[in-house]
Amino acid sequence: MGVSVASRAARIPDRAVRIDGGRRIRIGEDDSPLPQDGESPSRLVAVKPFAIDPFAVTNTWFAEFVSETGYRTDAERFGWSLVFKDFVPAAPAGPDAPGAPSWWRRIDGACWRHPEGPDASIAERSNHPVVHISWNDAVAFAAWAGGRLPAEAEWECAARGTLQAARFPWGDQEPDDKDFQPCNIWQGDFPAHNARKDGFGGTAPVDSFAPNSVGLFNMVGNAWEWCADAFRVRSLSRNARRRNEAAHANGERVLKGGSYLCHRSYCYRYRIAARTGVSPDSSTGHVGFRLAYDI
């Protein structure tokens, strides 16, 4: 027996933002600075009405899920996760994290409860986004919470709000390293020095900074957010075919929004159209998620 529309709507939290659908929206970016990621060309995609949380899932909410279900994340089962080097300066880089950039450290015991390793705590980060979350973990939480992960097109539609042609959730003004920091990203020389002009070196509370035009917080920066979609690059080039073959083999899923480690000089992925693909069991200290809901 199917779930009625009234029953589905009853499960949508009051805080959730309703997004109008029944129309086609343009996603992607024609003038892409990272064409290898499959942002371009832009395209029209039909989007049905849906709702989305104004905030990323917090440590507190995820702890409720774990307390009720006994769930163990992929990072906990594997026994390690990746942590940014500045948070664990004594930990050496090495072959224990093959393929990872030099600023990541494989840390035994790092997980959502212990973001920088066994001695770290989330006691003072209850309202921060939960991180070290794989796509598998996010899907399990969503099923428990009565929601789902947003589709990539839904995520972009929600991030733009009423500014459907904007590059960022607030408009087109570029963040800088001086006096305009509308989101939690890197300021300074990545990865050597973070000036922390925005006030944060790692994650920020989920209600930090101004919301976008429809009331959604931190749609870019802070922590990457999983989407439901499989990752693929829409191109006929040889490199795209190779990338798609690897993504398919690894079961990669789409991540959107960038994180506190993004800077235009290296990872210009705090734009709405930006995207990347990662295997569904991967976790790092800058990946979280938010929920969407059917209407």
pLDDT band at 89; cut points 50, 70, 90: confident
pLDDT at residue 75 greater than cutoff 90: yes
Range of the domain at 180: 5-294
Q: How far apart are CA 205 and CA 119, in angstroms?
A: 21
pLDDT in tens, 243-294: 778 777 789 999 999 999 999 999 999 999 999 999 999 999 999 999 999 9
Give the per-residue pLDDT at 167.
96
Please state the rounded mean pLDDT for residues 64-83: 97
Q: Taking a C-beta distance cutoff of 8 angstroms, is the pair 169, 220 a contact?
A: yes
Q: Taking a C-beta distance cutoff of 8 angstroms, is the pair 38, 229 a contact?
A: no
Structure token digits, residue 153? 């097109």
pLDDT at residue 79 greater than cutoff 70: yes
Cα 278–Cα 281–Cα 287 angle in degrees, nearest 5: 60
Domain count, the chain: 1
Between residues 122 and 237, the one the model is more confident about: 122
Please state the rounded mean pLDDT for residues 86-110: 80
Please state the rounded mean pLDDT for residues 41-54: 94
126 SS3 class: coil
Give the per-residue pLDDT at 111.
98
Q: Taking a C-beta distance cutoff of 8 angstroms, is the pair 244, 260 a contact?
A: no
pLDDT at residue 203 greater than cutoff 90: yes
* Phi (first) and psi of residue 248, to 5 degrees: -65, -45
pLDDT at residue 211 greater than cutoff 90: yes
Please state the rounded mean pLDDT for residues 222-247: 83
Residues in the chain: 295
Q: How far apart are CA 291 and CA 55, in angstroms?
A: 9
73: how many CB neighbours lie within 10 A of its CB?
Answer: 24
Give the per-residue pLDDT at 10.
53
- Judged by average pLDDT, the poorest of 4-8, 28-32, 37-41, 87-91 is 4-8
Please state the rounded mean pLDDT for residues 235-239: 69
* Phi (first) and psi of residue 19, to 5 degrees: -115, 125
What does 249-265 look like in DSSP terms, one character per residue? HHT-EEEES--TT--TT
Give the per-residue pLDDT at 2.
43
pLDDT band at 94; cut points 50, 70, 90: low
pLDDT at residue 134 greater than cutoff 60: yes
In terms of Cα–Cα distance, which of 135, 163, 151, 166 is closest to 49? Answer: 151
pLDDT at residue 99 greater than cutoff 80: no
CATH number for the domain that contains residue 196? 3.90.1580.10
Residue type for position 137:
D
Give the per-residue pLDDT at 183.
98
Residue 205 is classified by DSSP as -
